[in-house]
């Protein structure tokens, strides 16, 4: 069991906490339970929330000593530094090897603890200037949904906390397990961390031109030689118009979406089948096992063979 512990404080944002609790703390019928989820506070007892009710927290900071991942689901007000006890507990957990994760304003707690110095991080777009000004040693990216360094991960605004949690789940348990969890939550299984936090509201013509039919059509034809030009021709628009619609509706480009979809499908096939790499590469439109390995290594930092050994169905407990 992977032990997740979230640090809460008055007045706790319930949504940021729920992002992590919903992904990691819910038992789902038909899926093996691979996480325990709990909360702790510097001063256990009744903790006020921003939703108008109090929650009872029984564990103190020593819960970090048993955690594989520590989550800070928000830290407000951001100008209030953590106490020395909290800073010490965060640093001790990190030095012990626990993964440190922040959602939205929770990045400020990690920043005060010095866990982000010299590293890239993100937070809600409305707080990025404050984070950069207060912590000049941090490379603040105001645009992305999340940043994952392996030992430390930060997310943008509250909704992006779900994206980060799903990203971590996929890295821990594989794409198929994450897709099954996403299905129970009635949400897409994957949004790339490099997608934009905030896109301009769609114009009426773009609402009429939803990309959903195109995405479904393309996903069923990954093994074919799809290009941006072919996608645009199928939709009946120019490549420039298609790029604008992708940016407005998905926060990414057609080419990046297509590559991400191919890699995601390859991950699923690696987990669920014994197909040779050459066959998988052709089936998802990456032409050869060599190209699949190159794309896989760049996107995920591992090889298809290593990924298959780690996430083959039934291999993880």
Instruction: Look at residue 64 and tell me if it is in a domain.
Output: yes
CATH number at residue 270: 1.10.10.60
Instruction: Look at residue 197 and tell me if it is in a domain.
Output: no
Each residue's pLDDT expressed in tens, for the chain with a length of 317 residues: 999 999 999 999 999 999 999 999 999 998 999 999 999 999 999 999 999 999 999 999 999 999 999 999 999 999 999 999 999 999 999 999 999 999 999 999 999 999 999 999 999 999 999 999 999 999 999 988 899 999 999 999 878 899 999 999 999 998 888 888 988 887 765 555 544 444 444 443 443 458 889 998 999 999 998 999 999 999 999 999 999 999 888 878 999 999 989 998 999 899 889 999 999 999 999 999 999 999 988 888 889 998 888 887 544 43
CATH number at residue 61: 3.40.50.880
For residues 87 and 58, membership in a common domain is answered with: yes
Instruction: Look at residue 191 and tell me if it is in a domain.
Output: no
Instruction: Look at residue 102 and tell me if it is in a domain.
Output: yes
Count of structural domains, the chain: 2
For 132-137, the CB contacts below 8 A with 24+ separation are: 134/78, 134/79, 134/108, 135/111
Q: Which of 154, 184, 214 is the last residue of a domain?
A: 184
- Rounded-to-integer distance, Cα 123 and Cα 211, Å: 28
Instruction: Look at residue 196 and tell me if it is in a domain.
Output: no
Predicted TM-score of the model (pTM)? 0.74
- Rounded-to-integer distance, Cα 147 and Cα 197, Å: 12
Instruction: Look at residue 250 and tell me if it is in a domain.
Output: yes
For residues 42 and 153, membership in a common domain is answered with: yes
Half-sphere exposure (CA, 13 Å, Cβ side) for 289?
A: 9
φ, ψ of residue 234 in degrees (nearest 5): -65, -35
Q: Supply the range of the domain harboring residue 264.
A: 202-317
Instruction: Look at residue 193 and tell me if it is in a domain.
Output: no
Q: Which of 150, 184, 218 is the last residue of a domain?
A: 184
Task: Work out the number of other CB atoms within 10 angstroms of the CB of residue 108.
Answer: 27
For residues 139 and 60, membership in a common domain is answered with: yes
For residues 150 and 224, membership in a common domain is answered with: no
């Amino acid at each position: 069991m992977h032990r997740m512990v979230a640090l809460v404080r008055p007045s706790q944002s319930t949504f940021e906490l729920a992002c992590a609790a919903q992904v990691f703390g819910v038992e789902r019928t038909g899926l093996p339970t691979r996480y325990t989820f709990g909360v702790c506070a510097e001063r256990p007892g009744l903790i006020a929330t921003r939703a108008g009710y109090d929650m009872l927290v029984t564990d103190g900071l020593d819960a970090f000593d048993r955690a594989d991942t520590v989550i800070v689901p928000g830290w407000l007000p951001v100008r209030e530094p953590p106490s020395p006890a909290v800073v010490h507990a965060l640093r001790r957990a990190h030095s012990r090897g626990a993964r440190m994760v922040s959602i939205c304003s929770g990045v400020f707690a990690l920043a005060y603890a010095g866990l982000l110095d010299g590293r890239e991080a993100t937070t809600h777009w409305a707080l990025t200037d404050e984070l950069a000004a207060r912590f000049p040693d941090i490379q603040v990216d105001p645009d992305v949904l999340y940043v994952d360094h392996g030992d430390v991960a930060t997310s943008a605004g509250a909704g992006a906390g779900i994206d980060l949690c799903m990203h971590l789940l996929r890295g821990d348990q594989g794409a198929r397990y994450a897709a099954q969890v996403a299905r129970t939550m009635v949400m897409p299984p994957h949004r790339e961390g490099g997608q934009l936090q905030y896109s301009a509201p769609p114009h009426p013509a773009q609402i009429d031109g939803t990309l959903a039919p195109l995405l479904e059509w393309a996903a069923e034809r990954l093994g074919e030689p799809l290009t941006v030009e072919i996608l645009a021709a199928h939709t009946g628009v120019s490549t420039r118009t298609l790029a604008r619609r992708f940016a407005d509706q998905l926060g990414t480009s057609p080419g990046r979406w297509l590559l991400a979809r191919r890699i995601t499908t390859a991950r699923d096939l690696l987990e669920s089948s014994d197909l040779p790499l050459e066959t998988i590469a052709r089936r998802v439109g990456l032409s050869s096992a060599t190209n699949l390995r190159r794309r896989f290594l760049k996107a995920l930092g591992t090889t298809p063979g290593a990924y298959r050994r780690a996430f083959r169905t039934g291999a993880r407990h």
